[in-house]
Amino acid sequence: MMKIGDYIDIVAQEIEPADEEIVKDILRWYLDRTRSHIRGVQEFGRKALRFVKDDRVLADRLEILIENHDIDKLEDDEFIAHYAPYIVKRYCNDGLQDRFELKDDYKKKWDEEYVVQHCLKNGHHPECWDSSYGYGENHPPYDATRMPEEYLAEMVCDWCAVGLEQGNSAMDWFNKVSRERFVFTEFQKNFIRHLIEAIE
């Protein structure tokens, strides 16, 4: 288990200015936001479980996924330190994101290492199911046609939680990414649409 000083040292290397108070605020905001996001996914997950209740196997699998959603964002110490600056930059809207910049080498590591690590560990990210997705150069579209229903459902809950947080529509996001970023089968597209309509 890392100590607060270890977190501060890692994050300070990723941002400019490397100010300790900014780093502490980044870590505090990241942890609060991540816990809130997980609660949001679990709330949408309860709605999704009602949607799939007639398929007991699917419901049981989804329940486990929802319970453990994004657990690495809270339990993997080094990952937390590397993940936090980007998440604040992307999702924060209270001014903290304007107090620092991400270093160029950090942005490169984000694209080629940090986000890849998370996606490969978490099946609700469609990239996880594309056999060509990995460390280094990654460019969409990603083939998600092997993605099982329980992970599709967790993905929809994730999109709905982020959409609620950011004031966006999960359906609008789906329409965008299904054209530009991910390849889904027609069955998957129908499953996603119906689930979004049922829980959003």
pLDDT digits (tens, 9 = 90+) for 55-70: 999 999 999 999 999 9
pTM value?
A: 0.95
- Kindly report the number of other CB atoms within 10 A of residue 32's CB atom: 10
Summarize the confidence of residues 5-16 as an average pLDDT: 96
Alpha-carbon separation of residue 167 from 162, 171, 194 (angstroms): 8, 12, 20
CA angle 166, 168, 173 (to 5 degrees): 120
Q: Give the integer Cα–Cα distance in Å for 8 and 3.
A: 9
173/159 Cα distance (integer angstroms): 8
What is the pLDDT, as a whole number, of residue 73? 93
The counts of H helices and E strands in the chain are 10, 4
- Quote the tokens at residue 195: 């689930």
**pLDDT tens, 34-90?**
999 999 999 999 999 999 999 999 999 999 999 999 999 999 998 899 999 999 999
Both structure tokens of 76: 């993997």
